[in-house]
Structure 1
Amino acid sequence: MVTVYAIETENLTKIYDGTVAVDHLNLKVKRGTVYGFLGPNGAGKTTTILMLLGLVEPTEGTARVAGINVMEKPVEVKKITGFMPAEGGLYPNLSALDNLLYFAKFYRMSRNEAEKRAKELLELVGLRDVADKKVEGFSTGMKQRLLLAQALLNDPEILFLDEPTNGLDPRGAVELRELVRELKKDGKTIFFSSHILAEVEEVSDEIGIISQGKLLISGSQEEIKRKFMEGRYLITVETKELLEVESLDVDVIEWRKAGERTLRVYAKKDVREELIEELRQRGYTVLDVHLHEPSLEEIFMELVYGRGAK
C-alpha cells in the first residue's frame, strides 16, 4: 500500500556530545509536494536531511521515506532519493561530465545510459557548454548546478535540496526555483531546506520552521498564519470623529490610540463586530476595521527571535 506521505518522522532526535542538534522532530510531508524547511544556520536542517537519507544514525525516534524505515533499509531509501548537499561532494580534478559518469556507477547504469542521462542533466542545469571542463575552475554557482544534476541522476522519487541557492546569483536562484516547480510537475517530492525566507515562501506548498533543533510550526502558509494568530489578533479601527475613549467593554488583551481617530486593539479572538457595535453605540462613525494578518517574515522573526509585529 502506497502511503500518502513521502516523509514521516516520529520523535526524530540527534544528540552530538551532549548537544541536541534535532529535538523530537515530527514531520509529515505529502507526496508530490514541495516542503520548505526553513530555519537559521545551525537550526538542525542538514542533520535532519542526513538522518532522512540514512547517512546519520538518529539518537532516538524513527523516520520513514516513501514508507521505508530509513534505519532498517537505508540502501532502499538511497535508491529512490536524490541529495544535493549545501557544499562539497564533487571531484575538482574531473570534468563536469566525468563527475556525473562517476556517480552514475553507483546506480549501475550502463556507459551509454549514463552518458545519455548525464548530458540531459547538464543541459537541464545550463552546464552543457562546460561539460568537458574541470570542476576546479567552476564558480560556486556552477558547482551548485552540477550538484543538482548529480542529485537527479537516478531520476529520484524524492529530492532533498540542502540550501540549494548557496552561491547562485539572482538569475541563477530564479532559474533553480523554476526548475523546482518543473520537477514538482513531474510528480517528485522535494524537501527544500533554506535560511532564506523569500525563496521558501515562493516555491513551497508547505513550510516547517525549525530553530535550535525544534520544529516550531508547520503547514501551508495559510495554516501557519492561522495557527500563529490563535490568541494574538491585532485589529485597527478608524473612526470619522476624534476618539475620546477611556475604556472598552470588549474583551481584549490591550488597546491604545494610534492616532486621533485610530485604535489598535490586541485580542485573543476576532472581536471586530463587538468593537464596531460598541463604538457605534458611543456615537462614533466607523470608517474602517482592519484585521492585521502577519506576514511569514513576521511569524518567522517572532518564533525564532522573539520579535513580532508589535
Structure 2
Amino acid sequence: MIKTQNLTKEYNGKPAVNNLNLQIGKGEVFGFLGPNGAGKSTTILMIAGMIEPTSGTCTIDGVNVALDPLKGKEILGYLPEDVGFYANLTGYENLDYLGKFYPINDREREDRIETLLKSVRLNGVTQKVGEYSRGMNQRLGLALALLNDPKVVILDEPTANLDPEGVLRYREIVNELREAGKTILICSHILSEVKAVCTTLGIISQGKLVAKGSVKEVEDELIRQSNTHQKIVIKSINPELYTKIESIKNPDILEIARTKDGVEISVEKDIRPGLAEELKGTCSGITEMYLDRPGLEDLFLNVYRREG
C-alpha cells in the first residue's frame, strides 16, 4: 500500500531523508521510530503529499502522491502530532465542515460523523472545541483522520495526550482498522505503545532506514549493528561446567566466562536448545539457563546516542 523508492529530501543541500526504500503492505500496522531529527516527520509529510521529495518517489495504493496529491488524500487519513480545529465550533460542526472537502454525500458524511464520534467517546459533547482538553482534541483528530474511510492511516504520536482509558480505546480502534484491512503507519516515541499494536517496526536514523521487521528481527539487527552480543547465562553447582562448555565446538559461541555461580556465554544467536542437548546427562547440577539480551528500549537508546 505504501511504497517509497530512493525517497530523498534535502534542505540546503543536506539530506533529511536519504534514499529511503520502504514497503508497508495492506493490513500492516507499522511502527515508525527514530530520534528527533532522524527524518520521521519529513518522511511522513512526503507520504502524506504535503511536501515534495527532492528525488525518488512515494506511492500509496499505486498513486504517486507528489504528482497527484488530491487523489492521494482521498485514500489517506492523517492525524498530525498537533491537530488544529476551529475553536468556535463543536466537534460535530468541525467534522461536518471539514468532511465537505471529501467526495461523499451529505447523508453518508452525517452517518460517519455520528459513528466516529461515538467510537472516540465524543458523542453527545456539545461544548465548543476551544473548551476541549488536549485529550479530547486528540480523539477528535483521530475521528477526522478516519472520516473519509481511508485505505491508509498515518498517526503521529497518537497517544501523547490520552488518559489510560483513551489509550485502551485507541488500541481497540487500531485493531479494528487492521481487521478491516487498513494499512496503518504509527509514529511514536512510546515504545510500549508501538509494541502493543504494531505488527512490524522500522527504525530511521540520520535519514536512513537502519532496521525493519518484527520486534525480534529489529532487535537482532540493532544488536548486530551495535556490536554487542547476547549472552546465555547458566547457573550451576557443578565445577566441571566451564570445562564441558569449553569443549563444545559451535561457531555461534564467541566467548565463555566464569561467574561466581556458573558461566556466561557470549553468542551470535540463541543456541540454548542445542546447548541443553549437549549438556544433558554429562553435566548435572544446572539450576538455571536463560538468554540475556538487550531489549528494544536499550537498543533504541543506542540509536539515539549515535544520532547525537
Q: Same fold (TM over 0.5)?
A: yes
Pick the aligned partner of 2:132 from 138, 159, 169.
Answer: 138
CA contact (8 A) 2:79 2:156 kept: yes
Pick the aligned partner of 2:207 from 197, 204, 213.
Answer: 213
Distance in 1 of aligned mates of 2:278 and 2:144: 62
The correspondence of residues 98-113 of structure 1 with structure 2, limited to 5 A, is 98-113=93-108
CA contact (8 A) 1:276 1:286 kept: no
Gaps of 5+ in 2: none
1:237 and 2:234 aligned:
yes
Distance in 1 of aligned mates of 2:275 and 2:111: 67
Give a deviation string over 1:32-59, Cα, whole Å, max 9, x none: 1211112233332221111011111111
Equivalent position amino acid for 1:268 in 2: E
* C-alpha distance 269-147 of structure 1, shift in aligned 2 (>3 A): closer
In the TM superposition, residue 214 of structure 1 has moved relative to its aligned partner by: 2.2
Q: Secondary structure at the match of 1:93?
A: coil
In the TM superposition, residue 280 of structure 1 has moved relative to its aligned partner by: 8.6
Pick the aligned partner of 1:224 from 186, 206, 218.
Answer: 218
Percent of aligned pairs with the same amino acid: 42
Distance in 1 of aligned mates of 2:265 and 2:291: 10
Distance in 1 of aligned mates of 2:8 and 2:293: 33
1:128 and 2:123 aligned:
yes
Distance in 1 of aligned mates of 2:27 and 2:254: 42
Corresponding residue number in structure 1 for 2:258: 257
CA contact (8 A) 1:241 1:261 kept: no
Corresponding residue number in structure 1 for 2:290: 290
Q: Secondary structure at the match of 2:212?
A: strand
Distance in 1 of aligned mates of 2:102 and 2:164: 33
CA contact (8 A) 1:279 1:286 kept: no
In the TM superposition, residue 162 of structure 1 has moved relative to its aligned partner by: 0.9
Distance in 1 of aligned mates of 2:94 and 2:265: 60
Distance in 2 of aligned mates of 1:17 and 1:32: 37
Equivalent position amino acid for 1:72 in 2: L
The correspondence of residues 29-178 of structure 1 with structure 2, limited to 5 A, is 29-130=24-125, 132-178=126-172
Give a deviation string over 1:216-249, Cα, whole Å, max 9, x none: 2111123324444558332112222247959946
TM-score of the superposed pair, with normalisation by structure 1: 0.85
* C-alpha distance 248-303 of structure 1, shift in aligned 2 (>3 A): farther
In the TM superposition, residue 17 of structure 1 has moved relative to its aligned partner by: 2.7
Gaps of 5+ in 1: 1-5
Distance in 2 of aligned mates of 1:107 and 1:271: 55
Distance in 2 of aligned mates of 1:42 and 1:229: 22
In the TM superposition, residue 205 of structure 1 has moved relative to its aligned partner by: 0.7
Distance in 2 of aligned mates of 1:73 and 1:150: 21
The number of residues matched between the two structures is: 298
In the TM superposition, residue 275 of structure 1 has moved relative to its aligned partner by: 9.1
Distance in 2 of aligned mates of 1:262 and 1:59: 57
TM-score of the superposed pair, with normalisation by structure 2: 0.85
Equivalent position amino acid for 2:299 in 1: I
